Amino acid sequence: RRKLRVDKPFALMMPDLATVEAHCYLEPAEYTAIEARQRPIVILDRRPESSVAREVAPGQDTMGVMLPYTPLHVLLIEPEPGFPQALVMTSGNLCEEPIAIDNQEARERLSDLADAFLMHDRRIRTRCDDAVLRIFEGAAFPLRRSRGYAPYPVHLPWEMPPLLAVGPELKNTFCVTRGRYAFLSHHIGDLENYETLCSFEDGITHFETLFRVRPEALAYDLHPDYLATRYALARAEREDLPAIGVQHHHAHIAACMAEHGVAGEQPVIGVSFDGTGYGDDGAIWGGEFLLAYYHGYERPLHLAYIPMPGSEAAVRQPWRLALAWLARAGLEWDEDLPPVLASSTEVRQIVRRQLELRLNAPLTSSMGRLFDAVSALIGVRQRINYEAQAAIELEARVDPDEQAAYHFAIGEDEVDPTPVIHAIVADLGAGLTIGRIAARFHNGVADMVDQVCRLMRDRYGLVEVALSGGVWQNMALLNRTVQRLYEAGFTVYLHRQVPTNDGGLALGQAVVAAHRLAFNP
C-alpha cells in the first residue's frame, strides 16, 4: 500500500539455494537460471508448506525469487537465528514512477515509502530494474530483460543500418542497431508520465553515445498518442530523418522471427495475442493470426471485434467486457451472474447505451481482453489494480485435471468466441467449479489456435508458427498450445532472448524498418 501497488506481486531475495528449495519447486533449468551470473528474478512454483506470506503474491501459486548479487545483499540477508529466510526486494520508486537514482531525489520522493535510507557516495548513471524470467521447456522465457542482460546485443543474420526503434508505450524498451547487432535497452517501464519520458530520452542519448550510433531512420508504433511515437516523429522532423511506422503485432512476430534468425523469404504463421495494439483500421487489435514477412504482413484471421464500453474503464473494470460479450452472445444480464452483481443498475444502463450507440466504446479484437472478460464472467476478478491481473488470476485457478474444452466458431476471416460465452454461462448455471471452467477455457483457446494454424497451413502451405504477445506469458495456455502444435507437425518459435510482451517490441520495429528501407531505399 505504501508503494501504491495494491495486489501486484513482490520479488523475494533468499540467501541460498537450500532456502529456495524449502519454499519452491525447482526444475534443473531453474537451478541454472537462478544461479546464473545475471542473477535474474525467476518465477517458481510455490510449495504449499512455504511460510512466506501469501500477500507477497496475492492470488498466485508462484513466487519471484532471486539470490544475492552484490556483497551488500550477502551481508543484509546472511542467515541468523530468528532472521527472516526471505526479504521482499523492490525498487526505490512509487508505482509507475522511474527508480530514484540520486540520494537527494530518494529523500524527497521516497520519504513516505522508506523508514530508513542507506546512502552511497558513488553516482548511479542509469536506472536498471531486475530482469525477470520463467523456464519453459528447459530454457529461458524472458518476461523482463534488464539488469544482467541489457545491453548485451541480439545477434542478427544480416547487416543492419544504424536505426533507433523507440518501442511501445507499456513495458517500454528501445533498440539501437549497428552492423549485425541489435542493442535493446534496459526496462524503461510504462511511458505514462513526464518522469519516465525523461528517463527514456536519457537512455536513448546514453545508448547512442555508448555504441556510437547516429540513427539514419527511426521506427515507431502506429498509435498516435504514444509518447514514444511522438518522440520519434518530432525527432525525425527535427533531424530530417525517415520515420517508419510499424504495426504493433507485426513487430511482435518480427521480433520473434529475428531472434531465431528466420530468413523471412517465406512468411511464417504469426499468432500475436496481447491486450492492446493499434490496428491498421483504427481498432484495437490483439487476437491476430498473421502471414508475417519482415517487410510486411497479411491478416487472414482475427478474433471477432467487441465494443469496449467505457474504453480504458473497461480495461480497469473487466465486468464491463463480460457484459459486452454477454450482449453479443444474445444472453441476458441475469442478476446472479458475477459481473452483474459487481455493478449497479445505473451504471449497467449506461453500459447498455454505450454498446447500443457505440459511444466511447472502441472496437477490439484483443485476446487479452477476452481473458479479462472470462475472468469477470466466472467471478474471479471484476476490477484490477495492475495490468493483466484478471487474466493472471484466471490462469492461477485452472484445474490441471480438466480435459474438456470450449469451442470457438472459426469462420473465413474471423474467430468468434460467442459459443464459448454460451457454454460458460451454462456451466455456471450447472454449478461447475471455477477451476474446471477456467481450464475448459484455456483448453479451448489452445484448440482454437491449433485449428486456425492447421487451416492456414492448408491455405498457404506454411509449417512455421511464431507465438508472440503478452498473453503468451500465460504458462497454462502456452504449454497446451505448443504441445498441440508440435503434435500437428509445426515448427514453433518462442521468445528466448527478448520478452514475449511489449518489452521485446522494439527489436521487431527495428528489423521491420530495416527491411522496408531495403525494399524502398
Q: What is the pLDDT along the chain (521 residues), one digit of tens a residue?
A: 676 678 899 999 999 999 999 999 999 999 999 999 999 999 999 999 999 999 999 999 999 999 999 999 999 999 889 899 999 998 888 877 788 889 998 998 898 888 899 988 889 888 899 999 999 999 999 999 999 999 999 999 999 999 999 999 999 999 999 999 999 999 999 998 888 999 999 999 999 999 999 999 999 999 999 999 999 999 999 999 999 999 999 999 999 999 999 999 999 999 999 999 999 999 999 999 999 999 999 999 999 999 999 999 999 999 999 999 999 999 999 999 999 999 999 999 999 999 999 999 999 999 999 999 999 999 999 999 999 999 999 999 999 999 999 999 999 999 999 999 999 999 999 999 999 999 999 999 999 999 999 999 999 999 999 999 999 999 999 999 999 999 999 999 999 999 999 999 999 999 999 999 987 65
Q: Tell me the HSE value of 88 on the side-chain side, using a 13 A CA sphere.
A: 13
Residues 236 and 374 reside in one and the same domain: no
Total residues belonging to the chain: 521
pLDDT at 4: 66
pTM of the predicted model over 0.85: yes
Residue in the block written with cell 536506472: 127
Domain membership of residue 264 (yes or no) is: no
C-alpha cell at 162: 544504424
Residues 140 and 244 reside in one and the same domain: no
Q: Which of 310, 304, 323 is nearest to 354 (CA)?
A: 310
CATH no. for residue 80?
3.30.110.120
Last residue of a domain, one of 122, 144, 166: 144
For 137, which DSSP code? T
Domain membership of residue 301 (yes or no) is: no
Domain membership of residue 270 (yes or no) is: no
Report d(CA 54, CA 352) in Å as an integer. Answer: 38
Report d(CA 316, CA 384) in Å as an integer. Answer: 5
Residues 351 and 489 reside in one and the same domain: yes
Residues 407 and 469 reside in one and the same domain: yes
Domain membership of residue 127 (yes or no) is: yes
pLDDT at 6: 82
Report d(CA 362, CA 260) in Å as an integer. Answer: 35
H helices of 154-296, in order, are: 194-210, 227-239, 248-259
CB distance 126 to 203 below 8 Å = yes
Measured N-to-C along each axis, helices 434-460 and 389-396 cross at an angle, to the nearest 10 degrees, of 110
Last residue of a domain, one of 103, 126, 144: 144
Residues 6+ apart with CB under 8 A from 220: 165, 166, 226, 228, 229, 232, 233, 243, 244, 245, 246, 509
Residues 112 and 197 reside in one and the same domain: no
Residues 6+ apart with CB under 8 A from 437: 378, 424, 427, 428
CB distance 456 to 269 below 8 Å = yes
Residues 42 and 125 reside in one and the same domain: yes
Report d(CA 137, CA 249) in Å as an integer. Answer: 25
Domain membership of residue 262 (yes or no) is: no
For 234, list phi and psi in degrees, rounded to 5. Answer: -65, -40
Last residue of a domain, one of 115, 144, 173: 144
CB distance 328 to 417 below 8 Å = no
H helices of 279-406, in order, are: 312-316, 319-328, 338-341, 345-357, 367-377, 389-396
Residues 508 and 435 reside in one and the same domain: no
Domain membership of residue 218 (yes or no) is: yes
Domain count, the chain: 3
CB distance 180 to 232 below 8 Å = no
Residues 59 and 109 reside in one and the same domain: yes
Q: Which of 182, 181, 216 is nearest to 516 (CA)?
A: 216
pLDDT at 96: 72
Domain membership of residue 257 (yes or no) is: no
pLDDT at 98: 83
Residues 386 and 484 reside in one and the same domain: yes
C-alpha cell at 207: 545508448
CATH no. for residue 178?
3.30.420.360
Residues 130 and 23 reside in one and the same domain: yes
Domain membership of residue 99 (yes or no) is: yes
- Tell me, what amino acid is at 29? A
Residues 323 and 472 reside in one and the same domain: yes
Residues 329 and 424 reside in one and the same domain: yes
For 53, list phi and psi in degrees, rounded to 5. Answer: -60, 135
Where b means 16+ CB within 10 Å and e means fewer, 1-24 reads eebebebbbbbbbbbeeebbeebb
CATH no. for residue 386?
3.30.420.40
CA angle, residues 369, 374, 377, in degrees to nearest 5: 125
Report d(CA 490, CA 127) in Å as an integer. Answer: 41
Residue numbers of the domain that contains 20: 11-144
